[in-house]
Chain A
């Protein structure tokens, strides 16, 4: 069953210097219990797509199209109803864990409150539940943490607490926005392990937003690659890593720092820079950085279409074993 169904979603921002488009015509499905990764570099619209899906766009953001959660339309819903939906429906974990925790509230109070906002429970029960949740996300010495303040915790523990806070009302969909970017590699690996474990234990769906394909490999079932506000490729994770069809996806995979490549050769990169947000070009937005571009690419924008079992927006996709 489809839990989150995004159709023709576009997001624009009204700024003093004009209207800046951030997301163009995005279609995306996340099934119950599924893990989908949305990958792209900063400015690709990946975060705004999911903020819009949770009704969390900034005040100057305009969303159009349709976002349905468990069959009910989210776009245009009044704030009151959005709030009711968010906790038990959609949980959100931000990149900046310290920023998403209230500095002057004890951990226990914050966790208890996020539960009490959505369910009729007394404080004592909520605190017990909070402690259980901290143990579930492997915060060491959970009972003692309940009485501590966010600044007393290490970065990794803070991110675990932020995850626990989002999980308290037992959401059906957890959106994690760059949950590991600010963390050390060792902690990153532990948080990825935690997500994997939570999915099997709680059976929730997970939307993982990241610029780092490396952490996606072991976690997501499906990967959606975004570039300049549009989806350029969508495929099963194993298929995507085995044979990326879009040159941008291939570039992202090759650009990952590895422990087994040739150190004498320069690191492989994607040339050029992503277009600034709001730049509208006639052709494929990736064309200026693409090694496989043709004249057609700079005039005719490719549309997302079925490509085998996957979806792709490219005039010159790579076929297995070579380029077309």
Chain B
């Protein structure tokens, strides 16, 4: 099969400082997330800051401690892998970061940064071969080969992000984790980077895990979308299914929060309850984690945690009341 990522019941925890040796406290960043991804597909991972979406992306590369669950990357186990075999895994899985210039070493030329994965995984290459691979990678992302001898501070944010993408694809990986790759960029160049990622996906047969806080941003690229809140999956569905028929009130709120680019064109207002406080990840509530901010929450939601159920084929949602608040499965015209 073309399945390149397979995540089952992933749980990521960080030890907290200050706890006593044995009774150490843990912060659960990702709790029971599962998904699978094939070549050429993109999973959009969406949620607010602190929802665990970045930890999820980093867990795929073994960059954060995996407490339980399994991750298969091209059939190889990431959980429980030794540091050396983790490094080998990264040949096929690379990452693009949020801060375009911050993710490039300021003391290295663009060429050195782009060639770094190549140096690590194909140390035997001759220098002319390396140069031509750098040139190819830079051209692939819309930069000129001459740019290789310049330094990151000479480039704009959008160009730095292209350099970061060139570094991520130079080894022809199968999976690229994109952690908010456009949220630090101007609106006018965000689209350029998104289109570049789409083109590279088609050309190189990549699979992306695309992390963002904005549902509008991931819409073009994603084949399916996973909405996270406080480390848990709230909703996971194929793209059009999720945007046309969101079943979780949190997904609805994320959609309503996208600003409408017309004056007075905003038909929906965010419910006031969305301003409620996020529960502490150190002591998550017994019931639904979103209940404190949910406009449809009832007593039941505060007492029992909703299971992730398959509401429609391929469409999973964790909400006690999805039938009630959506008015059954009747399609909701959003005009």
Write the residues of chain A forming the contact surface with B, with a CB cutoff of 8 angstroms: 41-43, 138, 140-141, 154-155, 184-190, 192-193, 211-215, 217-218, 237-238, 241, 251-253, 255-259, 263, 266-271, 273-274, 276
Contact = CB atoms under 8 A, between A and B. Distances in A.
Nearest to A190: B275
B156 interface: yes
B198 A266 contact: yes
Given A217-B263, A263-B220, A185 B194 contact: no
B187 A187 contact: no
A131 B260 CA distance: 33
B186 interface: yes
B188 A41 contact: yes
29 contacts: A41-B188, A138-B275, A141-B277, A186-B274, A188-B257, A188-B259, A193-B269, A214-B187, A214-B260, A217-B259, A217-B260, A218-B260, A218-B263, A218-B266, A241-B262, A255-B187, A257-B187, A257-B216, A258-B258, A259-B215, A259-B216, A259-B258, A263-B219, A263-B220, A266-B220, A267-B190, A267-B191, A269-B188, A273-B159
B189 A269 contact: yes
A241 B263 contact: yes
B270 A189 contact: yes
Interface string B78-105: 0000000000000000000000000000
B188 A251 contact: yes
B270 A241 contact: no
A166 to B, nearest CB: 20
A217 B262 contact: yes
Contacts of B253: 186
Contact of A214 (B158, B259, B270): B259
B217 to A, nearest CB: 5
Contacts of A238: 263-264
Nearest to A223: B263
B64 interface: no
Top 4 A-B pairs ranked by shortest CB distance?
A269-B191, A214-B259, A41-B186, A257-B216
B265 to A, nearest CB: 7
Which range holds the interface residue count of chain B? 35 or more
B276 interface: yes
Given A138-B275, A189-B259, 4 more contacts: A41-B187, A214-B260, A259-B215, A274-B188
B48 to A, nearest CB: 4
Nearest to B256: A189
Contacts of B269: 193
Contact of A140 (B243, B270, B276): B276
Nearest to B239: A263
